[in-house]
């Protein structure tokens, strides 16, 4: 199967597959949302079925919960788990300081709650998600439906005094109707082009009445696993100052990781 993937899907697959090495039996694991996180859930499901891995998963969206149950992972709520050993999730953008933009899939609120309720968060992504400065990807901001147009105006006024290159805001749509999150809220997508001070922007946005949460993840990520289309996968542990690289060989018989360097 893996040999038939496109380069971008290979990159996502190897990042997800490599990240499963951080998961141990008995763990309570936060399961992210998005295309790369879906690969992770499928890989973990395979380990549950074929290797006897025993984990409980806390999904960050209803679609992740459905996929997890489908592949055989026991699913519980965060209230039941209370605290997690590990969360593994994707990112829409990440910079060299481990700052992230998340929420392209509409699950940023649950993703941030689950990630911060974990001993460790690992981000998995294809190498194209790494940027020098955040902002090319629209920043999602979750807002309550009541008065959302007023909230949108307040956000636009606030952006005038901040270090961003663009200030266009759009209500995310689902066909002809506003997109609705799992929590019943709407999402404003902020087309900022460049975010000069992500920490400041995150703090200021969350002070605006009507804003529930924003898609900037600051000081939350502990490790990054970056996949490449040629099968290489890089693991960065920022706290330990370690970088390692492996390669996944897409062979018809016996796909295995081959250590390249430490």
90 is in an annotated binding site: yes
102 is in an annotated binding site: yes
CA 89 → CA 113, 163, 223, distances in Å? Answer: 12, 28, 11
91 is in an annotated binding site: yes
104 is in an annotated binding site: yes
Burial 147-180 (b: 16+ CB within 10 A, else e): ebeebbebbeebbeeeebeebebeebeeeeeeee
> Catalytic one among 74, 80, 111, 156?
111
Half-sphere exposure of 10 (CA within 13 A, CB side): 18
103 is in an annotated binding site: yes
Beta bridge partners of residue 214, listed in sequence order: 141
- The tokens of 95 are what? 């910079």
89 is in an annotated binding site: yes
129 is in an annotated binding site: yes
**Whether 87 contacts 217, CB under 8 Å:** no
Q: How many other C-beta atoms lie within 10 A of the C-beta of residue 48?
A: 19
244 is in an annotated binding site: no
DSSP state of 16: H
Catalytic residue list contains 51: no
For the annotated binding site for substrate, the residues are 33-36, 89-92, 102-105, 129
Which residues have a catalytic role annotated?
111
For the annotated binding site, the residues are 33-36, 89-92, 102-105, 129
């Amino acid at each position: 199967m893996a040999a038939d993937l496109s380069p971008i899907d290979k990159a996502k697959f190897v990042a997800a597959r490599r990240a499963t090495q951080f998961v141990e039996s008995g763990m309570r694991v936060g399961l992210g949302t998005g295309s790369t996180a879906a690969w992770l859930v499928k890989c973990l499901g395979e380990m549950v079925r074929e290797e006897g891995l025993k984990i409980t998963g806390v999904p960050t969206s209803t679609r992740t919960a459905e996929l997890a149950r489908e592949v055989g992972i026991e699913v519980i709520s965060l209230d039941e788990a209370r605290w997690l050993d590990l969360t593994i999730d994707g990112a829409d953008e990440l910079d060299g300081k481990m700052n992230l933009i998340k929420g392209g899939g509409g699950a940023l609120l649950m993703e941030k709650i689950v990630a911060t309720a974990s001993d460790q968060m690992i981000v998995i992504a294809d190498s194209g998600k790494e940027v020098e400065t955040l902002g090319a990807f629209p920043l999602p901001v979750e807002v309550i439906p009541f008065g959302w147009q007023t909230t949108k105006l307040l956000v636009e006024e606030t952006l005038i005094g901040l270090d961003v290159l663009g200030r266009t805001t759009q209500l995310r749509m689902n066909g002809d109707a506003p997109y609705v999150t799992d929590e019943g809220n709407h999402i404003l997508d902020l087309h900022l082009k460049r975010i000069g001070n992500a920490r400041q922007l995150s703090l200021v946005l969350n002070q605006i009445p009507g804003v529930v949460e924003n898609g900037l993840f600051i000081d939350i990520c502990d490790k990054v696993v970056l996949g490449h289309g040629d099968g290489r996968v890089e693991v960065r542990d920022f706290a330990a100052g370690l970088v390692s690289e492996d390669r996944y060989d897409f062979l018809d018989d016996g796909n295995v990781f081959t250590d390249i360097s430490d």
